[in-house]
């Protein structure tokens, strides 16, 4: 089991940027596909971005494509999500996850989750 801890969420104005981090507990962090999801109040958890376990292939939700960038540092067992051009509709709790397959599309494709970090974008 991979233990994941997200950080970096905060209140930011529309148009601003944030970088989320996800620290993994295991040295084999690099063995899994990794994803970012988000969940707004009253809504289902939705896919945001994912990165393949070997190589650098990524996939993104249409709503964030061109604004968000997922990356990983295997030496530091850390996953990142750079978010630029933030919009109020990006407000949500953001979760990182280890996933079974790539490309990732839905939460049921992932098996290990962090506790989440709150991102709030004010208009």
* Interval 52-110: pLDDT, tens: 988 889 999 999 999 999 999 888 889 999 999 999 999 999 999 999 889 999 999 99
Contact 91, 70 (CB under 8 A): no
What pLDDT is stored for residue 56 in this prediction?
Answer: 87
Residue 27 pLDDT class (50, 70, 90 cuts):
low
Q: Which of 66, 76, 6, 75 is nearest to 35 (CA)?
A: 6
Q: What is the mean pLDDT of residues 109-114?
A: 91
What pLDDT is stored for residue 29 in this prediction?
Answer: 63
Peptide bond into 63 cis (omega under 30): no
Q: CA 92: distance to chain centroid?
A: 12
């Amino acid at each position: 089991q991979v233990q994941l801890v997200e950080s970096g969420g905060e209140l930011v104005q529309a148009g601003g940027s944030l970088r989320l981090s996800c620290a993994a507990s295991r040295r084999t962090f690099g063995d899994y596909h990794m994803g970012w999801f988000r969940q707004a109040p009253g809504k289902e958890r939705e896919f945001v971005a994912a990165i393949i376990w070997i190589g650098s292939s990524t996939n993104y939700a249409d709503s964030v494509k061109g604004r968000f960038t997922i990356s990983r540092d295997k030496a530091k067992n850390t996953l990142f999500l750079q978010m630029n051009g933030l919009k109020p509709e990006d407000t949500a709790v953001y979760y990182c996850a280890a996933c079974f397959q790539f490309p990732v599309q839905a939460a049921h494709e992932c098996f290990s989750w962090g506790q989440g970090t709150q991102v709030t974008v004010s208009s």
